[in-house]
C-alpha cells in the first residue's frame, strides 16, 4: 500500500457522484475553509477551488466518475491524486456516513499523509483499455451461451456434442437446435445460437479495430509479450494496456499482488490468521494472465508435462494458479529488462524451485495456489 506524502497549503477532498460532488478544503493547520455540495460540473468545481487553486491538491476515490475530475486537473495544471476505495475504507471507517463526512475524511487523509493511492490511468490510452474490457465482457457472455447449450444437452440426457460448439462451422453441421424434441427447447437453443453468431461478428469486428488502432508507445514490448507461446495480438494488447507502466512496480512481488496472482497472508503475534484482500488488484490483469497460462499449456509440451506433475501433487486448480503466477513473474522481468520470453530460462527456474533456490519459492508457490 502506497500513501500520498506531498505537502501543500490546501487539501481538497471530493466525495464524487455522477451528478453531485461534496467538496471539503482544509488548510495546512487542519481548519475547514470550504465545505459544500456542488453540481458535478467542471465550471462548478473551478469556481469552488478558485481562491486556493494555486496551492491545492485534489483527492478523490477511485469510482466510476473520476475520469472527468482527473482530466480537468490535468488541463488546469492542478495536482490530483486518485485514492484506493477499499484501502481508504479500511483506514478511515466510521459509524456514520454521508457525503460531507466522506469528503472531510479524504481531505484529512491527504493532509495526514495516509491517503492510499490508486493508479490514475492516463487519458488517451484509458479509452482503448476500457474498450478491451468491453471485449472481455462480450467474450464471457458468449462463453455463458455456449455453456447453456451444453447444460440443455445434459438436461435431456442426450449424447455429448461430437465437435466443439465454439466453431461456427461445427454448430451448423451438427444442427444443434434440432437435437431437442420439444419445440420450446428448440427455440431456446436457437436463440442461444443466434446470439452466439452475432457475438462472433461483434467480437471479430472489435478485435480487428483494436489491432489496427490501439496505441503502442513501445512496439518492441508488444512483440516481447507475443513471444510467450500461445499469446496472440489481442491478449498481448490486454497485458500491455492493463499493466501500462511496469516502472510503477518496484518488485515482481508488487506486480503479482496487483495482478491478484498471489494470496496476501494475515499474521499477528506470530500466528497466521488466513488470507485476505482478494478483491484488491486488477481483475482484468489476473484474467489475462490466467488466459496466457492456459494458452501456454496448449502450445508447450514441457508445460503439459510440468502441469501433470504439479496437478498430481497439488491439484488441477493450484497447478494452473502457480503457472499463471510464474508467467506473471516472467512478464514482469521481460518488461523490466526489455527481453523476449525464453522458455529454457523459464523452465530452469522451475527446476530450481524444487531445490528451494528459485525466485518463486515454495512459500510463493503455496500463496499462488488460491
Does residue 369 register a pLDDT over 90?
no
Predicted confidence (pLDDT) at residue 360 exceeds the cutoff of 50:
no
The residues, any chain, with a CB within 8 Å of residue 1's CB and separated by 6 or more, are 84, 87, 116
Report pLDDT digits (tens) over 38-60. 999 999 999 999 999 888 999 99
Confirm if 326 and 255 have CB atoms less than 8 A apart. no
- Angle CA(271)–CA(275)–CA(280) in degrees, nearest 5? 140
In the predicted model, what is the mean pLDDT of the chain? 88
Exposed/middle/buried for 246, CB within 10 Å: 0-12, 13-18, 19+?
A: middle
Q: CA separation (Å) from 71 to 77, 120, 197? A: 10, 10, 38
248-306 pLDDT per residue, tens: 999 999 999 999 998 877 788 878 877 777 778 899 999 999 999 999 999 999 999 99
For 34, phi then psi, to 5°, come to -155, 130
Angle, CA 316 vertex, CA 363 and CA 162 arms, to 5°: 160
Identify each DSSP E strand in 93-152 by its residue range: 115-116
pLDDT tens digits for 312-339? Answer: 999 999 999 999 999 999 999 999 999 9
Amino acid at each position: 500500500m502506497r500513501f500520498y506524502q506531498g505537502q501543500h497549503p490546501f487539501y481538497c477532498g471530493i466525495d464524487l457522484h455522477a451528478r453531485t460532488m461534496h467538496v471539503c478544503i482544509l488548510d495546512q493547520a487542519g481548519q475547514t475553509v470550504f465545505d459544500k455540495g456542488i453540481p458535478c460540473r467542471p465550471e462548478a468545481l473551478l469556481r469552488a477551488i478558485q481562491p486556493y487553486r494555486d496551492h491545492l491538491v485534489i483527492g478523490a476515490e477511485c469510482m466510476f466518475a473520476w475520469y472527468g475530475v482527473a482530466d480537468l486537473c490535468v488541463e488546469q495544471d492542478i495536482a490530483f491524486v486518485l485514492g484506493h476505495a477499499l484501502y481508504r475504507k479500511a483506514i478511515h471507517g466510521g459509524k456514520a456516513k454521508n457525503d460531507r463526512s466522506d469528503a472531510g475524511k479524504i481531505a484529512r487523509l491527504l493532509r495526514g499523509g495516509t491517503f492510499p493511492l490508486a493508479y490514475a490511468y492516463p487519458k488517451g490510452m484509458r479509452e482503448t483499455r476500457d474498450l478491451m474490457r468491453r471485449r472481455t465482457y462480450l467474450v464471457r457472455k458468449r462463453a455463458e451461451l455456449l455453456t447453456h447449450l451444453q447444460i440443455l444437452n445434459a438436461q435431456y440426457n442426450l449424447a455429448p456434442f461430437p465437435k466443439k460448439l465454439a466453431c461456427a462451422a461445427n454448430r451448423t453441421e451438427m444442427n444443434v437446435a434440432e437435437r431437442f424434441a420439444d419445440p420450446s427447447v428448440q427455440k431456446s437453443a436457437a436463440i442461444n445460437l443466434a446470439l452466439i453468431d452475432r457475438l462472433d461478428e461483434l467480437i471479430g469486428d472489435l478485435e480487428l479495430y483494436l489491432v489496427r488502432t490501439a496505441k503502442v508507445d513501445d512496439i518492441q514490448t508488444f512483440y516481447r509479450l507475443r513471444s510467450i507461446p500461445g499469446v496472440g495480438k489481442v491478449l498481448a494488447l490486454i497485458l500491455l494496456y492493463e499493466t501500462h507502466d511496469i516502472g510503477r512496480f518496484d518488485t515482481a512481488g508488487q506486480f503479482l499482488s496487483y495482478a491478484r496472482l498471489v494470496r496476501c497472508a494475515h499474521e499477528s503475534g506470530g500466528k497466521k490468521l488466513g488470507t485476505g484482500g482478494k478483491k484488491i488488484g486488477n481483475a482484468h490483469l489476473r484474467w489475462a494472465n490466467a488466459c496466457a497460462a492456459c494458452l501456454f499449456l496448449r502450445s508447450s509440451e514441457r508445460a503439459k508435462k510440468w502441469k501433470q506433475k504439479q496437478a498430481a501433487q497439488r491439484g488441477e486448480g493450484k497447478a494452473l494458479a502457480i503457472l499463471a503466477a510464474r508467467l506473471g513473474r516472467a512478464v514482469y522481468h521481460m518488461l523490466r529488462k526489455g527481453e523476449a520470453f525464453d522458455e529454457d530460462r523459464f523452465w530452469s527456474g522451475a527446476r530450481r524451485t524444487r531445490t528451494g533456490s528459485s525466485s518463486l519459492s515454495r512459500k510463493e508457490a503455496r500463496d499462488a495456489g488460491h
